[in-house]
Structure 1
């Protein structure tokens, strides 16, 4: 581990243990709440996908009916969440007009493959060596990693449909609407190439100081090819005799290579993982927060007792300064010529006058005995036994 990693680990541990672990407990509680929130959303999506009918494109007509309202002539569209399996095809290829002879499809510039969606991305690859003074850049690499991984990406698409591969020609189809969908697409990589970047004197300086610098550029092209079998999960409805399917925001899938059974298995595992992780992390966070609360409460009580003892000490000092002249004479006599065996073991200035209860040792003057009694856990300075108070001893 480099020096920068050690410093970052020390700072992280110090921050996590701040407040006797209170910060760590709050962070774990946030993680547990997020786990339970995702568990609720995933469970809801699992129920919807499990209850959704799995049909072919040709079976949609018997499942979804378009109804017409007789009063105003408007359309009343029935929407159903379905799981549809079909093959990807261009919309212009199934319309039955002269346009079907030259369907509107996209052609990959690099590979020549035909598809309805083409996504081209370019991403830089950075060096892993941190240089002689690279410990400073460790935190910078953590912060800038997300920015560096973004790169640049462009996507093109044409309208496409899903058709039933068993029927020729394709009389039944469902139009795929990608508007507003942020779900991942089942794209296929058709081109992947990495080109190195020529080094320069400035690059050598960056490497020496440990600053990241690009060493290569990766060009990648993905497409959704024609004829690929996919599964669409979303809201399907019929409008003007044309079936259309749109994505649902609360469902994690829209277009996928998985079947319905595979989706159910994957979501079931995810719900169990989120549930148990939330329970475990939540239990640990409750334990850490409980420990932090008890520790801070005890610290506050000790501080309050210490503060009260200080106030009492000031009050005793004020009372001792306002004693009468007779007390001053007695004090002067106690501070006078006193044999060593009768001096207070704490101040070594005044005569022993107070005996501790219950041990009975008379080893302190009255003022030092009061100071010992005001401690948080008062103990005899000789036998170290806990004491309850002191008694002033007078000579006969």
Structure 2
């Protein structure tokens, strides 16, 4: 572990253990709440997938026309939409017997395979210089590790359908509508190439003439990663979504309540995976929630005890100050004679009683009690010469 990583770990540990672990407890409580929310969402998705019929493309029409008492997805635009799990083979729209315009199939640039979805991704991997003072890059890398990569991606699709495998000509098909779906796609990687690059003046010329390299005086390119993924024609996949009739043709759309739309798994594997997720989320929520409760309880007790100790110390300090003041005032002799027989120039300028002399300036302007109050001031200075005083001495005329 480098020196910067050790410093980052030390800072994070101090922040986590601040306030006797209250920050760590709040972070764990947040994780526990998120786990419980995800558990509820995944459990609901598991129930819906279990209750959804698992059919082939040729059985869809009977399922759509029949009654349904299953759960529906939130945001469903029509009451005729039904949640189903359909297994079929990918084919372009031109592969069916409908009245569609001829659709051109996509061809992979690297493998020359026919596909309905082609995704090309280029990732620039680079290092940042530390700058003039050596700390700017370290701070950025501490909070934003993903700044070390820059990705550009392009996605091309053509309308496609699902058909039953081994049947030709295809009389039954299911139109796949990808609009509004943000679910992961079951793409197959057909090209993967990492090309190391040494930054040089030639790299700048390449970038200047159109290559998508990151340009910055603080960036040093390490390599380029090129990938191509496709959804090939003829691949068998499963669609989990809402099916409805559009112009006499069944069409499936994504359900936002479910974590999957198109997948390589069968219904049994999906149920197993969702069941495993629910168990992990459930127990992680319980364990992390219990740990967060214990840490927060410990932090509350510790801070409450500290608060009580601080209040007790403050009360004791106030009592000691009050007793000290009373003892000091009790030690002062009472002014029985007042200022009746004392000339006006020898009386206290504050209360007109007999006076005490300040040390070290020696000015005789205040009585003992007033001198004591002046001494206890934060800025104890003589009222006449404004010199800092250390103490006062009572003057007796014999």
Q: Give TM-score, length-normalised by structure 1.
A: 0.72
For the 8 Å contact 1:111–1:191, the answer to whether it is kept is yes
For the 8 Å contact 1:4–1:135, the answer to whether it is kept is no
Q: Please show how residues 289-300 of structure 1 align to structure 2 within 5 Å.
A: 289-300=296-307
Q: Give the drift of 1:137.
A: 4.2
Deviates more, 1:38-47 or 1:306-315: 306-315
Q: Give the drift of 1:317.
A: 1.7
2:85 aligns with 83
How many pairs were matched up? 310
Q: Please show how residues 312-351 of structure 1 align to structure 2 within 5 Å.
A: 312-323=319-330
1:243 partnered with 2:245: no
For the 8 Å contact 1:121–1:221, the answer to whether it is kept is yes
Q: Give the drift of 1:138.
A: 4.4
Equivalents in 2 of 1:129, 1:278: separation in Å? 41
2:43 aligns with 43
Equivalents in 1 of 2:55, 2:125: separation in Å? 44
Q: Please show how residues 187-202 of structure 1 align to structure 2 within 5 Å.
A: 187-200=187-200
Pairwise CA RMSD = 2.8
Q: Please show how residues 264-303 of structure 1 align to structure 2 within 5 Å.
A: 264-303=271-310
Distance 1:105 1:325, change over 3 A: closer
CA displacement 1:105-144 (0-9 Å, x = unmatched):
11122321111111110002336999xx988744433433
Aligned partner of residue 251 in structure 1, secondary structure: coil
Equivalents in 1 of 2:295, 2:202: separation in Å? 50
Distance 1:185 1:165, change over 3 A: same
Q: Give the drift of 1:145.
A: 2.5
Equivalents in 2 of 1:166, 1:34: separation in Å? 45
- In structure 2, the gaps of 5 or more residues are 68-77, 204-217, 335-398
Equivalents in 2 of 1:166, 1:23: separation in Å? 60
1:263 partnered with 2:265: no
Aligned partner of residue 184 in structure 1, secondary structure: coil
Equivalents in 2 of 1:64, 1:90: separation in Å? 23
Equivalents in 2 of 1:98, 1:288: separation in Å? 64
1:388 aligns with none
Q: Please show how residues 179-194 of structure 1 align to structure 2 within 5 Å.
A: 179-194=179-194
Q: Give the drift of 1:166.
A: 3.5
> Which of 220, 233, 236 is the equivalent residue of 1:229?
236
Q: Give the drift of 1:167.
A: 2.1
2:208 aligns with none
Equivalents in 2 of 1:270, 1:252: separation in Å? 11
1:391 aligns with none
CA displacement 1:179-211 (0-9 Å, x = unmatched):
0100000111122222222333899xxxxxxx7
Equivalents in 2 of 1:95, 1:219: separation in Å? 38
Equivalents in 1 of 2:332, 2:223: separation in Å? 94
Aligned partner of residue 251 in structure 2, secondary structure: strand
- Write 1 or 2 for the structure with the bigger share of helix: 1
For the 8 Å contact 1:127–1:212, the answer to whether it is kept is yes
- In structure 1, the gaps of 5 or more residues are 68-75, 204-210, 328-396
Aligned partner of residue 198 in structure 1, secondary structure: coil
Q: Give the drift of 1:321.
A: 2.1
For the 8 Å contact 1:186–1:257, the answer to whether it is kept is yes
